[in-house]
Amino acid sequence: MLPRVLALGLFGVTLAACEKPPEPSSAAASAPAAAVNPFLAPSPLPYGLPPFDRIEHAHFKPAFEEGMAEEQAEVAAIVANAAPPTFENTIVALEKTGAVLDRVSRVFYALSSAHTNEAIRALRAELAPKLSAHRDGIMLNPELFARVSAVFDARDEAGLAGEDLRLVEETYKDFQRAGAALDAPARERLKELNSLLAKAGAAFSDAVLAEVNASGVIVEDESELAGLGADRRAALAQAAAEAGLGPDRWLISLRNTTGQPILTDLTYRPLRERIQRASEARGHRGGEHDNRARVLEILTLRAEKAALLGFPDYAAYAVANQTAGSPEAVEAMLSQLRPRAVANAQKEGAALQALMDQQSPGETLAAWDWSFYAEKLRAERYAFDAEALKPYFEMNRVLRDGVFHFAGVLYGLRFEPRPDLPTYHPDVQVFEVFLDDAPKGLFLFDPYARPSKRGGAWMNAYVSQSRLLGTPAVVANHLNIVKPAPENPTLLTFDEVNTMFHEFGHALHGLFSDVTYPRFSGTRVPRDFVEFPSQVHEMGATWPSILKNYAVHYETGEPLPAELLEKVLAAQRFNEGFRTTEYLAAASLDQALHRLAPEALPEPEALMDLEAQLLTDLGLAYAPVPPRYRTPYFSHIMGGYAAGYYSYIWSEVLDADTVAWFKANGGLTRENGDRFRERLLSRGSSVDAMALYEDFRGAPPSLEPLLERRGLRD
């Protein structure tokens, strides 16, 4: 199969019983790689689950080397075929290449995000230019492109249709976008650029993770933790102990976002300020983790790559194969939303300042005050405290009676625990998935934050569904919930509950895939479409019948009181100006940065001044609401979402319109679920994304439901 960028994004003894990868055993190191390396043959486990209990760090590099060599030989055989190029001997043959490389890449890059260590990071840096060169060796092979072009040119007379025809057309586009049509000198320069970008991207990612771990705020006076309950203080003390800080210390680890959830509850303002400033200083305070030079290197290299491929800037290159089509289309949408969002945020800020004037006279609203006073105002207006909700959201109950129940009601899915199957960490749970009692795949649930795990929440596929390859789906959700002390339950915030439903939407997109070719499987859809199904599934978190099923007090078994439920639902649009503004600030920065010419980029020490100027020019410079991500730790756009962070709001237009359709057509019925699954979720990218949407919806998407949801109507 064509080379892929993996990781949407341990070993030794057994992965289910160790916290970090030990060194490979001497026996494994001395045995012939082919005899012991589990990546060199299909997994014998159900559904092709990677045999984590057999995987050692020493297996990765030889498997990558063998995988690249194998794929090179497979491609060489396609090129050397004396028969005229056909769909089967060229396009389908390409889809079948690279099995070993695919297996090892999926595991390695999943673990580099979910359970990394120094050895993995070092190997990732070493592999980045090699894999980039390997991909270029295929995608920039002129003889291979000649065969692909021949099949493309003859597609009509060959009578190709449906998924076969789309595979030919999309493969041809892949080669064109990779630079296969360039002349020889340009192809060589493109290879250099790709290698440099791979190195810089890996270095940026490693620095972000290292900086998050290095930027934790240490508290030495417990009185500063006023506002936190005993359980949360115990969790912070445990984190400090695990970090080797000794007794009477509390460690507040940072999330990758600018805003930190703990600010909602801390009453001691100087500590809130210290946490906020530590968060925003990441990546631009000097030292080895400073990312400013890396950001500018990446932006410069991307701009040159785009120009080489005939695009005016990298944003134009990145958006050309998305549903938006052009940066102008993206800007047309963002420009409609920005002034409305900021106006709402300023109204919200004025209300918060009024509350501060009552409770803390003389203080001016700052970014570190927003969530704290917003929670107070929420409680005042809706008469409930977010902390009062947490006892009703015990994690395993939310998963079993919320997320899984929702999938059962809407789609007929059933989930059976498989504790017999190996995992890479003891916190990971494995479930076998059945659709109307027919085996469908495996779902891995990895909920807790740890130093070896990057921030945020995401889904990845260890095995992608494909009828051609005979593979079902093995998918995983990764969250970053703070793990409580062993004797305490895991109680979630409502945002964490919503995230569980969101990420599970991605998992369903992978599990429901029913396509022939791996090129189109699961979530391999346009980037500005991929968030749409996951956002739709957030509706399960607040759908009254679903919420009542899982929102049960973990101690008493009492359901969430009806009046509290009503207040939760009524409060959904509260603080929406803030949420929309912080997101739009990040999305607009992403677009603006990727539309700059190299000569417009500053020196590293002026990067943050450039960011500030761009926010001002875009009308988003409202100090109490900083961007959701500042540029030096904006992992999305320095990685796979380059010039694509707008995708979340673009997808939400489709999401809001779809949820409105569900509500207008009888709600969470099996008939509605089957329609959504069969017409859209199962099709991957085997059909144009917007064609799939309109086939499901029966009409083009409307912006009105989104404006209504976010309170952005004029």
Q: Look at residue 26 in the predicted model and tell me its pLDDT.
A: 33
What is the edge-to-edge ordering of all strands in the sheet holding 458-463? Answer: 413-417, 429-435, 438-448, 473-481, 458-463
Per-residue pLDDT, averaged over 480-489, amounts to 93
Q: Residue 429 above 80 pLDDT?
A: yes
Give the β-pairing of 217-219 and 250-252.
antiparallel
Per-residue pLDDT, averaged over 104-123, amounts to 94
DSSP-assigned letter for residue 212 = H
SS3 at position 445: strand
CA distance 376 to 356: 10
Q: Look at residue 2 in the predicted model and tell me its pLDDT.
A: 56
Q: Confirm whether 204 is domain-assigned.
A: no
Q: Look at residue 543 in the predicted model and tell me its pLDDT.
A: 93
- Read off the pLDDT of residues 548-589 as tens digits, 9 standing for 90 and up: 999 999 999 999 988 887 887 788 789 999 999 999 999 999
Q: Confirm whether 427 is domain-assigned.
A: yes
Q: Is 394 a catalytic residue?
A: no
CA distance 246 to 588: 43
- Read off the pLDDT of residues 379-412 as tens digits, 9 standing for 90 and up: 888 877 778 889 999 999 999 999 999 999 999 9
110 shares its domain with 173: yes
Last residue in a domain, options 518, 537, 570: 570
Q: Residue 419 above 50 pLDDT?
A: yes
Q: Residue 4 above 60 pLDDT?
A: no
404 shares its domain with 325: no
User: Could you tell me the residue range of the domain that residue 228 belongs to?
Assistant: 215-281
Is-contact 294 204, C-beta < 8 A? yes
The total of structural domains in the chain comes to 4
580 shares its domain with 557: no
Name which of 31-45, 80-94, 592-606 the model is least confident about: 31-45
Last residue in a domain, options 570, 601, 628: 570
Name which of 6-20, 78-92, 262-276 the model is least confident about: 6-20
335 shares its domain with 404: no
Q: Residue 447 above 90 pLDDT?
A: yes
Q: Confirm whether 341 is domain-assigned.
A: yes
Average pLDDT of the residues of the chain: 92
Percent of the chain with pLDDT over 70: 95
* Tally of CB atoms within 10 A around 143: 12
Predicted model pTM: 0.81
Nearest residue to 481 (alpha-carbon basis) of 270, 261, 199, 231: 261
- Can you name the residues that pair with 441 across neighbouring β-strands? 433, 473
CA distance 75 to 144: 8
508 shares its domain with 458: yes
CA 609 to chain centroid, in Å, comes to 28
| Helix, strand, coil percentages in the chain from 3-state DSSP, rounded to 5 | 60, 5, 35
Nearest residue to 565 (alpha-carbon basis) of 668, 500, 660, 494: 494
Residue position matching structure tokens 């990394």: 116
- Read off the pLDDT of residues 647-680 as tens digits, 9 standing for 90 and up: 999 999 999 999 999 999 999 999 999 999 999 9
Q: Look at residue 167 in the predicted model and tell me its pLDDT.
A: 98
Backbone angles phi, psi at 441, to 5 degrees: 160, -165
Amino acid identity at 505: G
Q: Residue 16 above 70 pLDDT?
A: no
Q: Please tell me which residue in 503, 531, 582, 611 is annotated as part of the active site.
A: 503
Q: Look at residue 8 in the predicted model and tell me its pLDDT.
A: 31
Q: Look at residue 711 in the predicted model and tell me its pLDDT.
A: 83
Q: Residue 150 above 90 pLDDT?
A: yes
CA distance 582 to 27: 53
Q: Confirm whether 297 is domain-assigned.
A: yes
Q: Look at residue 20 in the predicted model and tell me its pLDDT.
A: 31
116 shares its domain with 160: yes
Q: Residue 698 above 60 pLDDT?
A: yes
Q: Look at residue 11 in the predicted model and tell me its pLDDT.
A: 25
Burial 545-574, CB ≥16 within 10 A → b, else e: ebbebbbbebeeeebbeeebbebbeebeeb
Between 698 and 34, name the one with better pLDDT.
698
pLDDT band at 1, cuts 50/70/90?
low
175 shares its domain with 254: no
pLDDT band at 265, cuts 50/70/90?
very high
Q: Look at residue 388 in the predicted model and tell me its pLDDT.
A: 83
440 shares its domain with 556: yes
24 shares its domain with 83: yes
Per-residue pLDDT, averaged over 704-711, amounts to 89
- Can you name the residues that pair with 491 across neighbouring β-strands? 394
The angle, 0 to 180 degrees and rounded to 10, between the axes of the packed helices 142-153 and 162-178 is 140
